[in-house]
Structure 1
Amino acid sequence: MIAIEDQSYVVSGIDSWRVWPSDVIYEPRLQHWLGVAKFQLPPADEPPSGNGIKVRLFPEMYSCASCKKLQAFRRFGSPHGQSQCGDCARPLTPSRFVIACEDGHLDDFPYSAWLHRKSDRTGEENEGAEHELRLETTGQTASLRSVVIKCSCGVRPASLEGAFGRNAMKELGIKCGGRRPWLGWKADESGCSATPRTLQRGASAAWFGITRSALSIPPWSETLQQRLNPRFGEWSELLDEVPEQVILKMIAKSDIVNDGQFTPEQVLDALHRRWALEASALPDSDEQPMLESANELRREEYAQLSDGTGNADRDFECVSALTDDMPLPYGLKRSMLVKRLREVRALESFTRVDLPDPAGGDKRRSAMAKKTMDWLPAIEVSGEGVFIAVNDDLLKPWEQRPGPRARARKIWTNHTALLRERAERAGSKRPPSDIKSPVTARYILLHTLAHVLVNEWSLDCGYPAAALRERLYVDKDMAGILIYTATSDSAGSLGGVVAQGEHRKLHETLEAALGRTEWCSQDPPCMESEASGLDSLNLAACYACVLLPETSCETNNVFLDRAMLIGTPEDSSTGFFKQGN
């Protein structure tokens, strides 16, 4: 929801957007993963042409500060293009409150039902009576107790006190109507069993975007594949229907080979490679929750980042760091300088009320269109970064130590309980014993290491922490982090991050980062915390030590514990980097 001057709107579904062929983005691996043919830049156009992103009026309930009427906007008789009360010519105010459910439905706050069911407890409005609502503020307090609703039917007035309780609507028998106002008329879903919750219209909990991203890596970042992208849909349909010689003749007439840079045979090979990607299987969606850092997209990137590229292309260049005749700091196995990278970030869906689970165990997905679309909105950003791989030979024995295992177990237990609770609320038929958190000591270590390096590098090379991002590669056979500057504004193009990956510089910044981590201004409570952060998914982590701006973190600042890096006062061996001392 967005506020424009004195009115409020909700962004319309993507099937109403007018998109342009010139704004198409391709990223084959991510397209295959999300099951779409392409991505589109969100359309931007100057009013009043109306060719940009469409919006719809929401919420529909407005109030007048003069006559105190509370009713649908259309009933005020406002002059066209304005937001004024037709009776007293005073500005109208959109409702401050809405209701939403965990399944993504959104509706106006049910003022009438709240008033009548709370006041007379019969659960029904007075039949035959007129119902003209009024919204008044007593001004006695700053709480919802001072916001009072009245009705012309004579029912006892009621305040909005208690409206934000988790079960406030359920206790009054107010159910979710399955409304999806962003999709327009006749888009409501019936039979929603979720309990609606009251939210402030501008609350962050009213919308949580679910984004997916991928780096452009060879061979898909190469020039030939990029030039093939617009033609792939047309030519791939002919592979099983037309002899290859016919396809080769068609390719030979295309602009891809007219400049002599590629032969028809090379283009056909690239076409077959892309077809093989489209035909490859996707993971089972019902499998155990998996952190994004371990999926197949990340595995492919991990291989490219670890090995580097022999021939740099426009979107990806990765080379080994300069050694300066100095070995890597203790615990690290490899440092790679990513001098050029391109990332595509696509909006897959969104949720409401509760954050989507970072481990993928949450299957809530709200529809972004009435019909199935072959594209998703996305942006592409370019930047630079440093890839660091942690020494697996040192990680494995550390993971078996009692200290790391015990601390990781605390976060694992809290996350598992959260996953099971959400599965139960969603009506999952899976046994609770089958639902387990994928969080490990290895993941917590690398995630926290990425955070402390981002904080340190932001001080050392002049970037704000919000301009740096982490990208994790963690599984039983992966242990790497990429810190990069892919951002859509000028803060991502200042240069300087790549230099942080050189061995001598890494020694300096890692030592400084670990030194800062050993002490937090919130200690001892921070280090001794048994649970902290959102849903108790952190241990020793707060904004005074390792937390980052949320745009920089992959998991909304959860699964963090600086004791995994430097140990605790009682047991220094819990810290991975204390082994080398």
Structure 2
Amino acid sequence: MALRNARTRPAGRNGDADVTRKPLGAVRRAQAITTYGVGAVIAIEDQSYIVSGLDSWRVWPSDVIFEPRLQHWLRVAKFQLPPADDPSSGDGVRVRLFPEMYSCASCKKLQEFRRFGSPSGKSVCGSCEMPLTPSRFVIACENGHLDDFPYFEWVHKKSERTSGENEQVKHELTLESTGQTASLRSVVIKCSCGVRPASLEGAFGGGAMSALGIKCRGGQPWLGRDAKEPGCAAVPRTLQRGASAGWFPINKSALSIPPWSETLQQQLNPHYAMLGVLLDNDLPDALILETIKKTDIMDDGRFTADEVLAAVRRRRELEASAPPDSDETVMFESANELRQEEYNQLYDGTGSVGRDENFECIPAPGDGGALPYGVKRSMLVKRLREVRALQSFTRVTMPDPTGGDTRKAAMAKGSVDWLPAVEVSGEGVFLAVDEQLLWEWEQRSGPVQRAHQIWGNHTAILRERAERAGSTKHPGDIKSPVTPRYLLLHTLAHILINEWSLDCGYPAASLRERLYVSDRMAGVLIYTATSDSAGSLGGVVAQGEHRKLHETLESALARTEWCSQDPPCMESEANGIDSLNLAACYACVLLPETSCETNNVFLDRAMLIGTPEDPSTGFFYKGK
């Protein structure tokens, strides 16, 4: 996928993309929703850019992705693959210059890029012809706003001197480094007006901007140079331009399950919009059936026109129904209605299906062995399709792992009825835990007490964020959804991914967890997470067979009993990001971030194997 300057001229009358401007760089399509999506800053050679909003993308009808359940949840009409770099299937994604403040290492000037007089296509100072450097620092707020670092305000307000004291004085900023230390104290900003120079020491403090009266200006440079969202009350923070805290994606995903994974629905997708309009206009069924007969859905004779019309009505019923759980509800995504539908399908299975269907799930063969202790059902998901969409993004602090974060930055200037997405085809194993054993374990004091520690830390974080956001909710109504059940299933998924990556040759980063946890669900799906050569080779499905599952689960639990960081790891009372883990570190159960649903938090291996003082805390403790 090519990245092109947003100033590229629009398409001509014939609709062909104007690709006269040379692409600035390229990223993979999947990175457009995970790493370099809308609003993300990307360094390309000696310049820095920000990915433009969806209204600047030129998407193609051939790249439409359908997933009715996810469309309904996110309230969009469709999903689109990010445009490719080949003019026949796209002309790339637009980017804009950001930050606008640049500096010259030779003449020390610090000003907007366009004031340097750099020749077109280059990044050099027009005066000394030396390479320019984009500002190392930006400011951002938790609501997703982003701006250039306010160098002018910093140097003048630090010196208690404003520009209004002498309107005739010319202000030219310079950036110099004393070289005495490697700290920000050596980075000094000067102004030609004679104000006392100010170093950048302390600029990264949480209250550095508010102490100087610098407020968030609501900047949205990905939507245009002057795009702003006024009235933001969040406190801006200084970040390094390429810091990971500068952009956190909010991704949502769903599996294709029956009936939406069936061949009829797949063939209906290109025609659904047209047929849906006919249905909405209350046209006679006979007329709609005649229209259906003229489509290519009928070419192979597998479906009747009546079956197609019934499929259209079924999808219309889905769209007319109430959307699943509100995003504002503080709950894990693993407990919502979409997951409940998937859980039911994974638990029951599909039996054998046609080769062109997107979902196949069958019970694992017993091969002479029973299921391991604590596991009630093992299902082989021989075929699955997942659609992952970029709903929005945040900055400064990552989205809450429960999925209830209301901070969502704008993806476009106006309203758009689509979101960028990718689809992944793969395989997996679904395990359901014995609910009777699980209920008995949940009554023990050990797991309850350990879960309460994480619950308390998470609840405090949720209440602090709500207070900063000006929420009107009573603090007592804001509670973490963490339970012993969730910690158990989440940690179980992690140790199995680590074990299976060793046993079947898949890298851990190519495997992914999908959790199903609520009062009505207790299951884990481990599946391939990439569509490349490590995507669907059959190795994961083999792990679900009873005898193999016995071996790998016993081996995984044995590895979990001892961590190279023990005893500190097991005895830790707070671990991980925001103290949301207990006995969990990179030497035992943590995974690559792409494999985990919650950014490696809400983990505790003691929930599996217990503690030296109380082995009964572990679910797999059999009382021996």
Q: TM-score range by the shorter chain?
A: over 0.9
Q: 2:449 aligns with which of 393, 399, 406?
A: 406
Q: Distance in 2 between matches of 1:41 and 1:406?
A: 46
Please list, as runs of the form range in 1=range in 2, the aligned pairs for 1:203-242 lying within 5 A after superposition. 203-240=243-280, 241-242=282-283
* Residue 295 (structure 1) aligned with residue 336 (structure 2): yes
Q: Distance in 2 between matches of 1:462 and 1:332?
A: 24
Letter matched to residue 427 of structure 1 = G
For 1:160, the equivalent position in structure 2 comes to 200
Letter matched to residue 421 of structure 1 = E
Q: 2:349 aligns with which of 302, 308, 326?
A: 308
Q: Distance in 1 between matches of 2:284 and 2:89?
A: 47
Q: Distance in 2 between matches of 1:446 and 1:178?
A: 40
* Contact kept in structure 2, 1:117 and 1:124, CA below 8 Å: no
Letter matched to residue 180 of structure 1 = Q
- Quote how far apart the aligned CAs of 1:186 are: 4.1
Letter matched to residue 194 of structure 2 = G
Please list, as runs of the form range in 1=range in 2, the aligned pairs for 1:391-470 lying within 5 A after superposition. 391-470=434-513
Q: 1:538 aligns with which of 581, 592, 601?
A: 581
SS at match of 1:342: strand
Q: Distance in 2 between matches of 1:492 and 1:297?
A: 24
- Quote how far apart the aligned CAs of 1:230 are: 1.8
For 1:381, the equivalent position in structure 2 comes to 424
SS at match of 1:576: coil
Alpha carbons of 1:288 and 1:17: their partners in 2 closer, same or farther (altered >3 Å)?
closer
Q: 2:360 aligns with which of 317, 338, 345?
A: 317
* Contact kept in structure 1, 2:325 and 2:336, CA below 8 Å: no
Q: Distance in 2 between matches of 1:287 and 1:14?
A: 24
- Quote how far apart the aligned CAs of 1:515 are: 0.5
Number of corresponding residues: 581
For 1:271, the equivalent position in structure 2 comes to 312
Please list, as runs of the form range in 1=range in 2, the aligned pairs for 1:100-249 lying within 5 A after superposition. 100-120=140-160, 126-240=166-280, 241-249=282-290
Cα deviation digits, residues 94-132 of structure 1 (max 9, x gap): 000000000110000000100111123669665431110
Alpha carbons of 1:150 and 1:18: their partners in 2 closer, same or farther (altered >3 Å)?
same
* Residue 280 (structure 1) aligned with residue 280 (structure 2): no
* Residue 8 (structure 1) aligned with residue 51 (structure 2): no
SS at match of 2:278: coil
Mean Cα deviation higher: 424-433 or 282-291: 282-291
Letter matched to residue 565 of structure 1 = L
Cα deviation digits, residues 296-333 of structure 1 (max 9, x gap): 11111111111111232431111111111211000000
Cα deviation digits, residues 470-523 of structure 1 (max 9, x gap): 000000110000001131322213331111101111111111100110101111
Q: Distance in 2 between matches of 1:61 and 1:325?
A: 69
Please list, as runs of the form range in 1=range in 2, the aligned pairs for 1:60-71 lying within 5 A after superposition. 60-71=100-111
- Quote how far apart the aligned CAs of 1:362 are: 1.7
* Residue 85 (structure 1) aligned with residue 128 (structure 2): no
Gaps of 5+ in 2: 1-40
Mean Cα deviation higher: 327-336 or 179-188: 179-188
Q: Distance in 1 between matches of 2:91 and 2:505?
A: 39
Q: Distance in 1 between matches of 2:600 and 2:565?
A: 17
Tell me the percent identity.
Answer: 76
Q: Distance in 2 between matches of 1:407 and 1:183?
A: 46
For 1:257, the equivalent position in structure 2 comes to 298
Q: Distance in 1 between matches of 2:231 and 2:320?
A: 36
Q: Distance in 2 between matches of 1:41 and 1:94?
A: 31
* Contact kept in structure 1, 2:155 and 2:197, CA below 8 Å: yes
* Contact kept in structure 1, 2:84 and 2:90, CA below 8 Å: no
* Residue 76 (structure 1) aligned with residue 116 (structure 2): yes
For 2:590, the equivalent position in structure 1 comes to 547
Cα deviation digits, residues 185-204 of structure 1 (max 9, x gap): 44211111111000000000
Letter matched to residue 277 of structure 1 = L
Q: Distance in 1 between matches of 2:294 and 2:44?
A: 51
* Contact kept in structure 1, 2:362 and 2:380, CA below 8 Å: yes
Mean Cα deviation higher: 16-25 or 41-50: 41-50
* Contact kept in structure 2, 1:126 and 1:153, CA below 8 Å: no
Gaps of 5+ in 1: none
* Contact kept in structure 1, 2:570 and 2:582, CA below 8 Å: yes
* Contact kept in structure 2, 1:116 and 1:125, CA below 8 Å: no
Q: Report the aligned-residue RMSD.
A: 1.6
Letter matched to residue 317 of structure 2 = A
* Contact kept in structure 2, 1:568 and 1:575, CA below 8 Å: yes
